[in-house]
Structure 1
Amino acid sequence: MAKTSELESGTFAADSDCHITYEDQQKINKFARCNARLEDIKDELKTKENDLQNLQDAEDEMMIALDADEKVPFMVGEVYIMKSQDEAQEAISQQRTVLEEEKSTLSGKASELQEIMTQLKADLYAKFGNNINLEADED
């Protein structure tokens, strides 16, 4: 019997007298793992969006500041190489495509995790009602 306990992401009310089975604990743990992974994916998505915006800004600045025949320093790994404006635009376009594909993949994974979490929430709230809290803290 669990009276006052915190189980990874699910917390129980202090006055509850709920019996937690092994299966329930597994569901709570799975929910916690999914929730943690979802937060990681959200952070990765935010990073990808920032990277896409940086690429757009770089492309805009390059168009404004340079003549068509000027060479621009372009970072490859940890070194800069000189590329023509057309070559740099091509490389930026390729990077943008890769980032958009990665972003799409991450969004799909986030959707899958949300579906799993919705089902787990429904199961756990059906059994424990208001005695469990699976909502994220809004600090």
Structure 2
Amino acid sequence: MTALQDSDVHITYEDQQKINRFARCNARHGDIKEELKITENDLQNLQDAEDEMMIALDTNEKVPFMVGEVFIMKSQDESQEAIGAQRESLQEEIAGLNTRSGELQETMTQLKGDLYAKFGNNINLEPEEE
């Protein structure tokens, strides 16, 4: 009978707010992780393109460079400068995503501690394995 009493934990409005906040943070954290994968892949593609361009082309040869939805012809130097600017932008974006991910993880850890302290095994806040 004590096991039944232990599982009857009263959920307050504040508890529900914490659960909802944890769920929102967890969803945002998942979105940021996906965005981070895509951005890191884009950064790797830029590096691969730059490496291939340096290996395969003559110094004076023009290369097609995508701007928006069209390609324009640029010299290797212009292309390398543009790739460098894009790489810098992606690195800044990755740093921002990592910072935001860390902030969300910290918030979720705090909320998880509060909720597990009150509800124990009656609540599951662990991510599902895929």
Q: Per the shorter chain, which TM-score range?
A: over 0.9
TM-score (structure 1 length as normaliser): 0.88
**Post-superposition offset of 1:105:** 0.6
* Number of residue equivalences: 125
User: Which residues of structure 2 form unaligned runs of 5+?
Assistant: 1-5
SS in 1 for 2:73: strand
Name the residue aligned to 2:122: 131
Tell me, in whole angstroms, the C-alpha distance in 2 between the residues paired with 1:16 and 1:97: 53
Q: Which residue of 2 aligns with 1:121?
A: 112
Greater percentage in strand:
1
Q: Which is richer in helix? A: 2
Query: Take 1:58 and 1:16, find their aligned partners in 2: how far apart are those partners?
Result: 58
2:16 aligned with 1:25, yes or no?
Answer: yes
Show the counterpart of 2:85. Answer: 94
Indicate the SS of the match to 1:134: coil
Kindly state the Cα deviation for residue 28 of structure 1 after the two structures are TM-superposed. 0.2
Give the superposition deviation at 1:16: 2.9
Structure 1 SS opposite 2:74: strand
Deviation at 1:57, TM superposition (A): 0.5
Please list, as runs of the form range in 1=range in 2, the aligned pairs for 1:103-114 lying within 5 A after superposition.
103-114=94-105
In 2, distance between residues paired with 1:16 and 1:77? 58
Secondary structure of residue in 1 paired with 2:9:
coil
Q: Could you say what the CA RMSD is over the residues aligned between the two structures, in angstroms?
A: 1.0
Paired residue for 2:47?
56
What letter matches 2:25 in structure 1? C
Offset at residue 107 of structure 1 (A): 0.5
* Rounded Cα–Cα distance in structure 2 between residues aligned with 1:78 and 1:29: 40
CA drift of 1:17 comes to: 1.9
TM-score, L = length of structure 2: 0.94
For 2:33, the aligned partner's letter is K
Deviations 1:18-54 (A, max 9, x none): 2111100000000000000000000111011000000
Q: How far does residue 84 in structure 1 lie from its aligned partner after superposition?
A: 0.2
Q: Tell me, what secondary structure is at the counterpart of 1:133?
A: coil
Partners of 1:98 and 1:56 in 2: how far apart? 13
Give me the whole-angstrom Cα distance separating, in 2, the residues matched to 1:103 and 1:30: 24
1:75 aligns with 66
Task: Give the residue type in structure 2 aligned to 1:92.
Answer: I
